[in-house]
């Protein structure tokens, strides 16, 4: 199969491929997603095959608004309506209890709940409308690898495995959406993301964060809860404190291969980098670092291979919770110790 790059003037052609049961990657404000007709079980199963994704890892259903959600989910609560009004379209995924038989177990992982999102990207909203169906949309990468923030990242992983990629340039947010479970008594964050716990609480009151570890035989309710994620080829090591960078760079200088360094400009400019270090700027603050995190991991995979990566850590508060969630998973919880 030849994977075609669709530009934003070719949305009708991309939608026709979706309607024919094929897979088309699409842009969102967070990362690129791998799209298939959420009501076509055969197409959904092809998503798992293309990604090499475990079949008990549920998929997020992308919609153009709450009317589509109401066709599948149990009646929405007042809190759910308030969240939709406040954050959709945007980087917030909401899990709802389903009406019986409305979505295939290939979408839900066999659960009686499903995750829904209204992405903040005009091209993708136009694609969903043109296709006339909601789209499943896990990250458009090989399962376990860093999420794609550019069409070329998708092409690298999935060329020949999917029909096409709708290219709308780089994504804006860079880390995936917050996943909030609305099927529990107290709304529960299952994955931190672009909408923070504080922002959610300001709209609906108390929310809680799940620290539940999914067992080997347990089906996760949201992506990223059970399996290895975001890992580049080289081992990532997190440098938690600015004071540790002198020692970390000394360690890097003693390694035989090239070491990648991902940090904000202030840190990169404050140190004389060893000759065997290649720097990737995370910008100037946490917001830009969250935007550039996956791009940096992809850079050291695809454009400048290295034998190890040192990456800057941030305090896990607000957006930092999402950044550190992804970075810890990419590093396998490995932190630099001086």
Geometric angle at alpha carbon 120, from 117 and 122, rounded to 5°: 120
Residue 62's alpha-carbon distances to 137, 199, 241, in angstroms, are 7, 22, 38
What pLDDT does residue 25 have?
98
pLDDT digits (tens, 9 = 90+) for 96-117: 999 999 999 999 999 999 999 9
Helix ranges (H only) for 192-305 are 197-204, 245-253, 265-270, 286-302
Residue 77 tokens read as 């609560």
What pLDDT does residue 8 have?
97
Q: What is the mean pLDDT of residues 287-314?
A: 96
Q: Residue 95 pLDDT > 80, yes or no?
A: yes
The band of 66, judged by pLDDT with boundaries at 50, 70 and 90, is very high
Q: Let me know if domain 4-209 sits in CATH 3.30.450.70.
A: no
Mean pLDDT across the chain? 94
- Specify binding-site residues for L-threonine: 30, 62, 117, 177
Residue 175 tokens read as 């880390």
In the chain, which segments carry CATH 3.40.50.11030?
235-331
The band of 81, judged by pLDDT with boundaries at 50, 70 and 90, is very high
In the chain, which segments carry CATH 3.90.870.10?
4-209
pLDDT digits (tens, 9 = 90+) for 214-232: 555 566 666 655 455 678 9
- Specify binding-site residues for ATP: 53, 57, 113, 139, 147, 191, 230
- Specify binding-site residues: 30, 53, 57, 62, 113, 117, 139, 147, 177, 191, 230
Contact residues for 18 (Cβ-Cβ < 8 A; gap 6+): 24, 35, 36, 37, 43, 127, 131, 133, 135
The band of 275, judged by pLDDT with boundaries at 50, 70 and 90, is very high
Contact 209, 317 (CB under 8 A): no
Q: Residue 180 pLDDT > 70, yes or no?
A: yes
Q: What is the mean pLDDT of residues 117-146?
A: 96
Q: Residue 306 pLDDT > 80, yes or no?
A: yes
What pLDDT does residue 32 have?
97
pLDDT digits (tens, 9 = 90+) for 5-63: 999 999 999 999 999 999 999 999 999 999 999 999 999 999 999 999 776 678 999 99
What pLDDT does residue 206 have?
96
What pLDDT does residue 338 have?
83
Q: How far apart are CA 177 and CA 89, in angstroms?
A: 11
Order of strands across the sheet that contains 135-136: 4-6, 164-166, 24-26, 33-37, 135-136, 60-62, 113-117, 92-97, 178-181, 188-191, 208-209
Q: Which CATH number fits domain 235-331: 3.30.950.10, 3.40.50.2000, 3.40.50.80, 3.40.50.11030?
A: 3.40.50.11030
Q: Residue 296 pLDDT > 70, yes or no?
A: yes
pLDDT digits (tens, 9 = 90+) for 232-271: 999 999 999 999 999 999 999 999 999 999 999 999 999 9
Sign of CA dihedral 130, 131, 133, 134: negative
Which residue, among 114, 63, 286, has the nearest Cα to 196 in the 3D structure?
286
Q: Residue 212 pLDDT > 70, yes or no?
A: no
């Amino acid at each position: 199969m030849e994977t075609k790059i669709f530009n934003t003037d070719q949305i009708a052609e991309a939608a026709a491929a979706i309607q024919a049961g094929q897979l088309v990657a699409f842009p969102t404000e967070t990362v690129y997603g791998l799209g298939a007709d959420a009501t076509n079980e055969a197409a959904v199963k092809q998503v798992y095959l293309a990604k090499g994704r475990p079949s008990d890892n549920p998929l997020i259903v992308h919609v153009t608004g709450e009317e589509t959600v109401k066709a599948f989910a149990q009646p929405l609560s007042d809190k759910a309506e308030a969240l939709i009004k406040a954050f959709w379209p945007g980087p917030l995924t909401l899990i709802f209890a389903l009406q019986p038989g409305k979505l295939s177990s290939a979408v839900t992982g066999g659960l009686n709940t499903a995750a829904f999102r209204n992405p903040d990207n005009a091209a993708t909203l136009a694609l969903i409308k043109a296709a006339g169906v909601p789209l499943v949309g896990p990250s458009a990468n090989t399962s376990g690898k860093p999420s794609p923030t550019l069409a070329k990242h998708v092409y690298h992983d999935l060329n020949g495995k999917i029909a096409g990629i709708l290219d709308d340039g780089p994504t804006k947010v860079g880390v995936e959406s917050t996943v909030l479970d609305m099927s529990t008594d107290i709304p529960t964050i299952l994955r931190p993301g672009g909408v923070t716990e504080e922002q959610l609480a300001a709209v609906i009151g108390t929310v809680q964060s799940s620290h539940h570890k999914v067992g080997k035989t347990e089906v996760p309710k949201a992506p990223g809860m059970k399996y290895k994620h975001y890992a580049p080829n080289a081992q990532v090591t997190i440098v938690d404190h600015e004071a540790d960078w002198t020692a970390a760079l000394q360690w890097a200088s003693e390694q035989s291969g090239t070491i990648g360094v991902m940090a904000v400009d202030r840190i990169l400019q404050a140190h004389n980098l060893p000759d065997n270090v290649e720097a990737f700027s995370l910008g100037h603050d946490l917001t830009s670092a969250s935007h550039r995190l996956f791009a940096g991991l992809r850079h050291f995979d695809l454009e400048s291979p290295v034998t190890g990566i040192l990456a800057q850590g941030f305090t896990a508060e607000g957006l930092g919770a999402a950044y550190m969630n992804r970075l810890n998973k990419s590093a396998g919880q490995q932190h630099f110790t001086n």
